[in-house]
Amino acid sequence: MLIDGSNQSILVSGESGAGKTETTKHLLQYFAAMGEKSESSQCNSSDNIERKVIQTTPLLEAFGNAKTIRNDNSSRFGKFIEIQMDPNGIIVGAKIRTYLLEKSRIVRQASNERNYHIFYQLCKGATDEEKRKYKLDTVENYFFTSQSGCMTVDETSDEEQFLHTKTAMNTVGITAEEENDVFSTISAIMSLGNVSFEVDPSNTEASRVAPQPSSQKWDAIDQVTQMLGCEKSVLEKYLINKRITAGSESYDVPLTTDKASNTRDALSMLLYSRLFDWLVQRINLSIEAKKPFKSYIGVLDIYGFEVFENNSFEQLCINYANEKLQQHFNQHIFKLEQIEYEKEKIDWSYIQFADNQDCLDLLEKKPICIFTLLDEQSIFPKATSQTLSEKFYSTFNKPNTISSKYFEKPRWGNTLFTVSHYAGKVTYDTDSFIDKNKDFIVPEHISIMESSKNSFIKNLFANFWKKTTVSTSGKGPGAGGNKSSQFISVGSQFRESLNQLMDNIKTTSPHYIRCIKPNTQKKPLVFDKLLVLGQLRSGGILECIRITKAGYPTRKTYESFAPRYKLLAAKSIIDSSKSGKPLNPKAMCELILSHLKVNNAEYQLGTTKLFLRAGQLAKLEKVRTDLMNSSAVNIQKVWRGRKQKREFKVMQQCALVLQTVIRITLSKLNAKNLRRNAAATKIQKSLRMFVLQKRHNETKNAALVLQTAIRAHNARRNISDMQIEKSVLNLQRFIRAHKDQKFFVQQRRWIVLIQTRWRGKMAKKQLTELRIEARSLNKILSQKTQLEKKIEELEWKLASEILVKTRLERSMERKERDIQQGKKYLEERNKFEEEKEKLEEENAQKEVEINKLKNQLEEKSKQISQLTRQHEEQRREEMKRAKEREKALAKNSELEELKKSFASLLEREAETKTYLKKMEEEKKKIEEEKKQLSAAIEEEALLKRRKEAEERVKQRIAKMEEERRAKRVESSSNLITANSTNPKVAVEMEKLQNENRAMKRELEDLKEKWREECRKQGRPVNLPILHKSPSFREDGPPEIALKNGIIREVGGDDEKGSRTLIELIINRILTNFKDEPFSIFCNNIPIFPFAIYRCFMNDPINHSLSQLSPSISLFAGDSIVKILAFASYRDDIGMLSYWLSSLSLLVYLEKKISKQEDPINMDTKIIISDSLESSFVRVYHTFMEHIQTSLKPLIHGFLEEVKGDVFVKKILALLTKVLNSLIQNHTPNCLVQFVFHQLYYFINAMAFNEVVLRRDLCSMNKGYDIKMKISELRQWVKKPENKDWLGNCDKELEHLSQVASVLSLNKTMIVNKEIRDQVCSLLSMLQLKQIISIYQTDDFEEQVPLSLLKTLVESKEYRLEDPLCLDILAHFSTLLPSQMHTISFDDLNSIEFPKPLSSSLQTTLAHHSSLFIDSLSSADHFALLFKPKLKS
């Protein structure tokens, strides 16, 4: 504004509650602060105009703002504030214009809304004296302020706001008398709302003022007339009557109660609107400019776009105003912007935007629009909302017209119509449209106010008819030829004022502030993305951003740009002028930009203006400012340096003279002090030597006498102590020996007993585990179900007897325990008395020490008795449990079967041991061969013997592998069972495998030594040279060349060459898996399926796809299965994840080529042998078995853990490790979810079975504990970083969650079927009966009644054939979608085949071709080649 000298305007817009009023406050505060800064810099006096401008905001908010549903401080009027400034940027004045105050709010408010703030501030914030003066009552006792039921605003104090309002009134210059008149008028308006009417008994069509209710302090009509200064009888008369003028005669017509209430409301709205206009006029008078101003900045704060459940005439006007502002925004930002670019011939692409001109034509375009039809209907006396709606429907709701796009007739409601605004569709109700548009003014009310005794009221209505322009007139119902009342078309008046506002804005340079409403709940820190996006899109912000980003918002004429920035390229301009080429402003601008190396994309040269991208002008200003600052600094530096140098020389000469005088004086004083110090030191030395020598002699003599006496005393005491100590030691030695001997014998007896029982317990526990593992859980359950059918009839007969017997047994056990404890105590007491008598006879003189020993012995005896009792109780419980298990096994006739299975396990273990012995013998033979090979190094024919040794090693290894494979085929399941039941066998096998690996490594070392020896002696090594074989020729793509080269290398056998290539790829992956993990992927795709696809499935020459041959498919799958048979690979989650991801992609490609979309069956029982899909299923089950094996002990700890969440954290750590491994190996999302669904089902089934079968886990505390741990497992699934990968796998925990709910629930409530359906709908009646039958009550619980069990058993839902436990090995789903991946064949073909892989495979083949070329594709060599390598 100061540079260009043009007026500016800031248009603040947005939805209701978006923050427009607060933004306007900040703008005014900023302008005031900048004005004060400029004013203080020029040291001018001020009349504090800035403070007055700021204080107008709270004053207008008090009288013009109210609480709505969407906003606690909603502006119910529009205002345009002109901040007038002089040429120096100092505020010299201001002017406020207001638009369309919502007068209907004074008399009626919607639910949960308030009237204007001033009413509540005055009632709550006024002092007691002011309340008596204005005859104020509480807010609840005024109809105008209490009808909505909302009288407060959250986090806002009306008392404090009233003080701010009064302060603002004083600041803007409103006198105390005027303030008194304003508050009196407000009080009169509130009291006028309490004036009610009733039917006149003498005339049922007439009304009269109702008497004052007893709850009100003052009479309403009396208070109104007193405050307004009018006569009571006249005001009452024209509240209940209407004057009709016919010709020269006039007469009064009585009004009904409803019409009288409308007349009262019209007077209230008229009074408040006149008061508001006077307040604005008074503020303008206070802040008007006292001297001429150059320009101004206009700030428009107008009501935001509103959409309520019931939208009336006010919302139509408000939204119409917002449509006009949006059109101006479109014209300025979109239309004018693009016209400017076209005019200046700027290279520009046209941007489409949403134009709302058609919607504005529907609202305002004459001759036929919504507002003109409304004015037309307002003239007719008999017009209603129904006729108005029908007029709208017949005019605008015509098909295939422009208006039909923006006007709709709702399906329901005869008085409703819908307009499609830029911000969305709004449905309006025409009810009261006509009355609000007429805004009738009763002339008699104006006459009463003009004749008021109150000068303030009289001044409000002075020259009323001259100021009010009458747009049209009408006749009241039943009126004569003359008009009895006049009305102003509110719509026309509003359109006229709005058009004036738009004309005023068009004369300024507009700036836009778009306030965005974050949410509709009026809550902080809540961000509704869809709501914000809708506002940005409807307001044209997104298109504006696109234009700003793609366009040139900064534009300068060449004449204004060149003089200001020519100093940035002064040298270039001077050089150009010296060369005789005169520069015009455009050429000079181009020279400046090229000198500053501004990118050509950041500016364009128009015909008359320079166009710059956003931010470029700021960069130029920064460069200019920095240049001027640096120049000023250089000038200041030179001048200050010269000045300081001159001052320094003068000070240097003075300092030299002063230093010379001071140093002479100090040297004289120092010499004098040195002489005095030397004399004093000699005197002190002699005196101190004499005194210390005398004192030393005296001390020495006294010390000799004292030492003699002390040493004699100490010697005598030491002799006495030694004698006493010797006696005590002898006594202690005998006592401790006796005590330790007795304690040792007793402890040894107890330890032997404890060890015996503990080992028995552990043996029984191991036997039980072996039995449980030897049989399937389903078989036990089926047999148990058959037995339960037989004993079900006897259970209830024995229930009462068992209860009585149990109580008797408990009482007998307590008595026996007390008797045994008493006997033990007496025995120990007798022994102690005997030992005590012996000790008293032997050590009568040492009573004190014996008493101490006695106390210690008593404590030890108590501890031993406690340990004995505890141990005895544990032993009884273990024996009792063992008997119960033995009885159950005897009843189920399973003990013999378990013994047979255990014997078979022992036989299998013996077979395994014999196999291990054979492995050891083979190991010894291999060691002997190794010794022979090492001895052959020193001989001449070393090469021949080495080859023979290698052949023998291969034969032995092949033979061992054949035996192992045959053994594995015969009894693989038996061996797995034996290994699981006897871990020593598995450990021994792993040990032998590790030794075999070590031996192979030593064999490789010997080979390397042989090569070194041959090199030293100059003999041929006869090993392959690791370079590219001549078989590999560049005869096509690298993958085809690699495949053809390997086939030629192995003799032209396609089958053998294909297998060799697969083996080499797998060997490459295994070698680089740990050291170079990045090399086993290619563009985030596992290298194994990628190489198989490119080498075998894709034909780049013919551009065709083909499936793998059955033999190659089977060989590839079996190779991976054999690799994972090794323990080191099988136990590596990363290795398992990699092969699982690789095979899933390979299966996906196979099915996609064959165009099969049938899902993959993951059940091992129906695996189709000899297929790639079966290998994928086997790898999947190997992967799951490894994780489930790791989960089993954690689930046991998870259930048995009493306090803490250690095992839950361990489970989550394991699951996190599995998830990260799957993600790192690029496993598809579908397969990851499938894996974790199965894992969560496994946790659910295993924990559920343990809880159902174990009594110690069935308690209320354990139920709460399980609930908390389940919530942790579910929270882990719901984490943002895990949710997309895991889906809803936590639903698999539902069985366990329902069991925990049953345990923590009152057991008697389970009888209710509705509660069962809510709490445990997945549990069968048999499972509920099992849980309740083994339930252990806590100390504070009552015993579960037997009748509950009887009720469950007698229920119709109780079936013995229902399973008691869940199948741990079952699948939550056996079908996996085959379309797991999303990669296409084009993506795979576009990836370049990795050259390092091709070269490394050729090198590996060259190495193996000399050593193992004859057996490279054999299964035996495959097992040797890919056996895990040990790392140091």
Q: Which residue among 7, 13, 15, 17 is the active-site one?
A: 17
Name residue, tokens 């895991």.
1286
Catalytic: 1022?
no
Contact 518, 527 (CB under 8 A): yes
Q: Which two tokens stand for residue 270?
A: 């008229």
- The 3-state DSSP class for residue 218 equals coil
**Rounded Cα gap, residues 1296 and 1322, in angstroms:** 10
Q: How far apart are CA 7 and CA 82, in angstroms?
A: 10
480 in catalytic set: no
Residue in the block written with tokens 């006496």 = 709
Q: Out of 56, 57, 71, 1259, which one is annotated catalytic?
A: 71
**3-class secondary-structure state, position 882:** helix
Q: Is the peptide bond before 367 cis (omega within 30 degrees of 0)?
A: yes
d(CA 679, CA 778): 115
| Cα–Cα distance for residue pair 938/765, rounded to 1 Å | 59
Residue 476 designated active-site: no
The secondary structure of the chain in percent helix, strand, coil, rounded to multiples of 5, reads 65, 10, 25
Q: Are 380 and 393 in contact (CB under 8 A)?
A: no
14 is catalytic: no
Read off the DSSP letter of residue 291.
S
Number of Cβ within 10 Å of residue 839's Cβ equals 20
Residue 1276 near residue 1215, CB atoms below 8 Å: yes
Q: Which residue in 179, 177, 157, 159 sits closest to 168, CA to CA?
A: 179
146 is catalytic: no
The residue annotated as part of the active site, out of 15, 39, 306, 344, is 306
CA distance 586 to 344: 13
CA distance 783 to 804: 30
Residue from 7, 9, 74, 1119 carrying the catalytic annotation: 74
Q: How far apart are CA 1257 and CA 1246, in angstroms?
A: 13
Q: Within a 10 A sphere around the Cβ of 495, how many other Cβ atoms?
A: 20
- Is 71 a residue of the active site? yes
Cα(781)–Cα(892) distance, rounded to whole angstroms? 10
The greatest distance separating any two alpha carbons of the chain, rounded to the nearest whole angstrom, comes to 152
Phi, psi of 1316 (to 5 degrees): -65, -40
Q: Is 1031 a catalytic residue?
A: no
Distance CA 319, CA 494 (A): 12
On whether the CB atoms of residues 103 and 493 are closer than 8 A, the answer is no
Q: Which residues pair with 197 in a beta bridge?
A: 209
Distance CA 1243, CA 1272 (A): 14
* Angle separating helix axes 847-892 and 895-936, nearest 10 degrees: 100
Count of helices and strands (H, E) across the chain: 51, 23
* Cα distance between residue 1221 and residue 1066, in whole Å: 19
Cβ-contact 560, 585 below 8 angstroms:
no
Q: Which one of the listed residues 14, 229, 304, 491 is annotated catalytic?
A: 304
Per annotation, catalytic residue among 7, 9, 13, 16: 16
Candidate list 7, 65, 75, 1174, residue with the active-site label: 75
Q: Which region holds residue 1309: left if phi is over 0, alpha if psi is between -120 and 50, else beta?
A: alpha
Cα gap 1139→1123, rounded to integer Å: 10
Tokens at 1421, concatenated:
């060599």
70 in helix, strand or coil? coil
Cα 180 to chain centroid, rounded: 56
Measured distance CA(179)–CA(165) in Å, rounded: 11
Region of 615 please: left (phi>0), alpha (psi -120 to 50) or beta. left
725 is catalytic: no
- How many whole angstroms separate alpha carbon 397 and alpha carbon 1261? 70
Which whole-number Å values give the CA distances from 427 to 313, 316, 412, 531, 1151, in the listed order?
11, 10, 11, 19, 55
DSSP string, 1345-1378: PHHHHHHHHHSTT--TTS-SS--TT--S-SEE-S
Annotated active-site positions, please? 16-17, 21, 71, 74-75, 304, 306
